Amino acid sequence: MSLSPTDDVYVDEPWLLMRWDREHNCLFAEWKAFATSTEFQGALMKALEAGRSRPRFSFVNDTRKLELISDEDQRWIQYTWTPLAIEAGVRRIAVVMARHGLSKMAIERMFRERRNRDNRLQSQTFDSVADAFKWVAEP
């Protein structure tokens, strides 16, 4: 995916590109490589900061190249980040997953074990970015 000059880039690091996608009206994160726990959690907090100025926003998270999500980070997402995301106004989270690998297994486990069924935050997994963008755009 290429950036247009009007895109708002929030993170551009070797492990992640995060920007506001004006075409699909959502926050888009494309993980490029392994991220440490500090980088991973910092990026997800940055996502909430980026969206706070937009009421009820959606988040497309392309994790196909993310190599690993540690058990500690999985618990942090479930018990810390998810409630903060709801408070920040995240409406939908679309997670694009790799076909195989450790991050895929971790994401599948998080979705199976998800205890917070609060309907204020919908989440779903996808095989392609195009399908994820389509879903977050639905009313």
* CA atoms of 70 and 76, how far apart (whole Å): 10
What does the pLDDT average to over 75-100?
88
Binned at pLDDT 50, 70 and 90, residue 52 comes out as confident
CB atoms within 10 A of CB 60: 23
List the CATH number of the domain containing 31. 3.30.750
Model confidence at 40: pLDDT above 90: yes
- Mean pLDDT, the chain, whole residue set: 85
* Inside any domain, residue 80: yes
Query: Is residue 117 predicted with pLDDT exceeding 90?
Result: no
Q: Is 1 contained in some domain? A: no
Q: Identify the pLDDT of residue 129.
A: 96
Q: Supply the DSSP string of 46-107, one letter for each residue.
A: HHHHHHTTSSSEEEEEE-TT-----HHHHHHIIIIIHHHHHHHTEEEEEEE--SSSHHHHHH
Q: Does some domain include residue 87?
A: yes
Tell me if 107 sits within 8 A of 64, measured CB to CB: no
Both tokens of 53, joined, read 């100025």
* Residue 119 lies in domain: 8-137
pLDDT digits (tens, 9 = 90+) for 9-24: 999 999 999 999 988 9
Q: What is the rounded CA–CA span in Å between residue 86 and residue 6?
A: 27
User: Total domain count for the chain?
Assistant: 1
How, if at all, do strands 8-13 and 16-21 pair? antiparallel
Residue 76 lies in a domain: yes
Q: Is the pLDDT of residue 112 over 70?
A: no
Q: Is residue 46 part of a domain?
A: yes
In a domain, 3, yes or no: no
**Whether the Cβ atoms of residue 56 and residue 89 lie closer than 8 Å to each other:** yes
pLDDT of residue 26: 94
Q: With bands split at pLDDT 50, 70 and 90, how would you rate the model's confidence at 119?
A: low
Percent of the chain at pLDDT exceeding 90: 53
Domain for residue 68, yes or no? yes
